[in-house]
Structure 1
Amino acid sequence: MTLIKYILKKFIPLFIGSLFFFAFVLVLVDLFMNLWNFISNGVPAKTVFNIMLLYFPKSLWYSAPLSILFAVSYTLSDFYANNELVAVFASGVPLIKFTAPLLLFAFALSFGLFIFEDKLVVPTYAKKVELQEIVLNKEKDLNNNKIVVMSEQGNVVYKADFFDNSTRRLNSLYIVIRNEDKTLNCVVRADSALWVEDHWKLSGSTKYTLEEGNLVSSEVDAQTLSMLTEIPETFRNNTTSVETVDTREAKEYIDHLRRVGLPYNEPLSVYYQKFAFPFILFIVVFLSIGLSGKTRKNVMLISLASCVSAAVIYYVFQMVTMLMAKFGILSPFLGAWLPVFLFVVISLFLLKYART
């Protein structure tokens, strides 16, 4: 218990201090990148401060891996440099047992980072982007024109000249409805369609069907109307980025892509990455333990450089596997999780041959 308190007493202040330091630096970088735009648009200082405050959770999220890497590397290197670990190893305590509190802390923090990102980082960063676009006059127009949307696994296809986001109305609408075997069921033409609760209400509509080779027109029946349930958000001039929404919204978006028959490998791999990325904290701690103390000279510098290099290799490898998942070479699950599994094995190997 004394050893646990001792190592955590050295590690935790370093981690917290470096976390807030790196986060503050990232906030300042973001501020300086947009400073001229704020000045030229006459943005009040209070609004700029609010934007910085909303960006702070995102900067903490970005800073967590680097902070824990620095804190662990510095702590262990300091132990090695002062020969404190000699006494620990001489007393029969192996390296893995001595550093177990750091590993458990990093593992628990990985879950905390996931919840922190999903519940706080995503909404605050979305508000930051929205507020920044408003004050810089960069608001995005969600109205859309010349729209083609597939729904229900491609069995319902919407084609509209214009979508008005403020009124949730589609103008000059054609709807092609197909049977399960993809043969034509009917075509519906409407002057406009208004979203009401959970379906589209058509105005000036006509239904066309083929009967014995002849085109027959009729009123749109209730059964056909019940199929027109694609939500208005689908028609917006807006592309959902899985990285910028929480896991619930990301899953809904991927389900929508599956439903309409659009490619979803890339967003699904990004969705899995939301769960895999927080474990970078556990990975870098594992790597730091295995790589620290490899040399007797410049212990802290060499250990920190080795850990940073290993972390960079991890990020590069993750980028490669995510690209492979995007192009279907790997499954989306492996694209997100393969770097984690591989680097855990590498870390165990390094730990086996760590200096004790």
Structure 2
Amino acid sequence: MKPRWTLHGYVLAAVIPAFLVSLAFFALLFELIDLFANLVKYIQNEASPAEVFRILGLYLPRCLSLSIAPAMLFATAYGFGVLKTSNELIVIHGSGVSLASFSVPVLLFAALASAGGFWFEDSAALPMLRLKKEASRALMGQTVTLNNAEIALYNRTTGVVWTADYFDDPGASLSGVTTVRRDPKGTFLERVDARRARWDGSRWEFLDVRIWTAQPDGSILERFLPAWNAPYYAESPASFRKGRKDLEDLNTQEALEYALFLKSAGLPFVGALAEAYERYTFAATPLVVALLSIGAGGRLRKNILLSSLLLSLTASTVYYVIRMVSLLLARLALVSPIAGAAAPVVFFLVLGILLFRTAHT
């Protein structure tokens, strides 16, 4: 058993250092892309170096998250390529150790990177990305208001139609509110007119209210109340904000909830749902590309460093092109949201299995 553990430690020692170095390299590459994309704006707004470096620092977690998959691809291809060119793979296979058995620790490490990357993306990268965007807007003098006017909203789940003259986002309040609630068959149940409504954390409290409620005998009961609330009126304040949300600013759970809200409101939701599902498939990418690069790494014979770098950059480009096309097809309802989200990963998984099965052992 000890020689096998020694062999597993040896292959990890060939991959992990390369992974850490390439992770830093790709993160730096993403940082430089963002820096040069906004460099003219920084100069025009006379941004100080400290302000620019603060924005770059806030963007670093997102860069690290995006770099995990290409770094894993490069490190695995490079590690196995070096073992191949030094003829060490021949010795290992000649001793009776199969490629599948030899690759287990690398695949386990890739699976750990996938799980850790998913957690890191949701808990650190996306919150810091929101702060980065806020800092960039503040530096460039841009303001974003989420207040909204002339609102009309329908929630299919609760059967409530909302109209309001104005929504104040900082105060979480509505002015000139009218709601109409109906059952699934479309039968009138209740209408609420209120001068104002405020969010209490779980539902809306209506002020200066006039209520019409359908009675079992078919009559309508009219009431006037200074304040009133009911569990049917728990629409999130985010539903009334101006403009569509940027899913890049939302964690996975929030993105799913937003897609389901769009669906319940009768708005286009397929694209948002596909992007929410894509969070899960993207998290599996390091494991998939590790499988791909194990099969490809043994085929590299010369200039291992450059060949591995070229392989990782090419695969990353192909991945993002397939992702862009598949999500576009999902938005156009030509494929299902799950198919649109899973297409890039499935493509590389099939390619990885093919290369792995045909690799020399």
Amino acid at match of 2:297: S
- CA RMSD in angstroms comes to 3.1
Separation in structure 2 between the aligned mates of residue 254 and residue 215 of structure 1, nearest angstrom: 36
Aligned match of 2:356: 351
Aligned match of 1:164: 168
Say whether 1:138 aligns with 2:142: yes
Q: How far is the alpha carbon of 1:303 from its aligned partner? A: 6.2
Asked if the contact 2:158/2:232 (under 8 Å) is kept, the reply is no
Asked if the contact 1:80/1:299 (under 8 Å) is kept, the reply is no
Q: How far is the alpha carbon of 1:57 from its aligned partner? A: 0.6
Separation in structure 2 between the aligned mates of residue 314 and residue 52 of structure 1, nearest angstrom: 25
Aligned match of 1:319: 324
Aligned match of 2:241: 236
Amino acid at match of 1:88: I
User: Using a 3 Å threshold, how does the CA distance of structure 1 residues 118 and 226 change in structure 2: closer, same or farther?
Assistant: closer
Deviation digits for residues 178-235 of structure 1, max 9, x if unmatched? 2331133344333332333433333444345799999986536998754332232221
Say whether 1:260 aligns with 2:281: no
SS at match of 2:284: helix
Aligned match of 1:53: 57
Say whether 1:114 aligns with 2:118: yes
Separation in structure 2 between the aligned mates of residue 191 and residue 21 of structure 1, nearest angstrom: 57
- Which of the residues 222, 247, 256 maps onto 1:251? 256
Amino acid at match of 1:57: P
User: Using a 3 Å threshold, how does the CA distance of structure 1 residues 301 and 28 change in structure 2: closer, same or farther?
Assistant: closer
Q: How far is the alpha carbon of 1:4 from its aligned partner? A: 2.1
* Long gaps (5+) in structure 1: none
Deviation digits for residues 220-278 of structure 1, max 9, x if unmatched? 69987543322322211142233321123223323433443444332222222111102
Separation in structure 2 between the aligned mates of residue 227 and residue 301 of structure 1, nearest angstrom: 61
Q: Mean alpha-carbon deviation: is it higher for 175-184 or for 222-231? A: 222-231
Separation in structure 2 between the aligned mates of residue 223 and residue 202 of structure 1, nearest angstrom: 5
Q: Mean alpha-carbon deviation: is it higher for 244-253 or for 100-109? A: 244-253
Asked if the contact 1:103/1:286 (under 8 Å) is kept, the reply is yes
Correspondences of 1:193-342 after superposition (within 5 Å): 193-207=197-211, 218-219=223-224, 225-294=230-299, 305=310, 308-342=313-347
Deviation digits for residues 302-327 of structure 1, max 9, x if unmatched? 56645654554444333333333334
Aligned match of 1:180: 184
Asked if the contact 2:15/2:79 (under 8 Å) is kept, the reply is yes
User: Using a 3 Å threshold, how does the CA distance of structure 1 residues 178 and 349 change in structure 2: closer, same or farther?
Assistant: same
Q: How far is the alpha carbon of 1:156 from its aligned partner? A: 1.1
Separation in structure 2 between the aligned mates of residue 74 and residue 224 of structure 1, nearest angstrom: 63
Deviation digits for residues 274-306 of structure 1, max 9, x if unmatched? 111021111211111222343656666556645
TM-score, with structure 1 as normaliser = 0.86
How many percent identity over aligned positions? 35
User: How many residues are matched?
Assistant: 356
User: Using a 3 Å threshold, how does the CA distance of structure 1 residues 22 and 344 change in structure 2: closer, same or farther?
Assistant: closer
SS at match of 1:145: strand
Q: How far is the alpha carbon of 1:80 from its aligned partner? A: 2.1
Separation in structure 1 between the aligned mates of residue 142 and residue 183 of structure 2, nearest angstrom: 43
Asked if the contact 1:81/1:300 (under 8 Å) is kept, the reply is no
Amino acid at match of 2:63: S
Q: How far is the alpha carbon of 1:24 from its aligned partner? A: 1.7
Separation in structure 1 between the aligned mates of residue 307 and residue 44 of structure 2, nearest angstrom: 46
Correspondences of 1:76-115 after superposition (within 5 Å): 76-115=80-119
Separation in structure 2 between the aligned mates of residue 215 and residue 354 of structure 1, nearest angstrom: 77
Separation in structure 2 between the aligned mates of residue 37 and residue 307 of structure 1, nearest angstrom: 31
Asked if the contact 2:285/2:345 (under 8 Å) is kept, the reply is yes
SS at match of 1:99: helix
Amino acid at match of 2:79: T
User: Using a 3 Å threshold, how does the CA distance of structure 1 residues 91 and 201 change in structure 2: closer, same or farther?
Assistant: closer
User: Using a 3 Å threshold, how does the CA distance of structure 1 residues 313 and 196 change in structure 2: closer, same or farther?
Assistant: closer
* Long gaps (5+) in structure 2: none
Separation in structure 2 between the aligned mates of residue 93 and residue 213 of structure 1, nearest angstrom: 80
Separation in structure 2 between the aligned mates of residue 85 and residue 279 of structure 1, nearest angstrom: 27
Aligned match of 1:14: 18
SS at match of 1:243: helix
User: Using a 3 Å threshold, how does the CA distance of structure 1 residues 271 and 4 change in structure 2: closer, same or farther?
Assistant: same
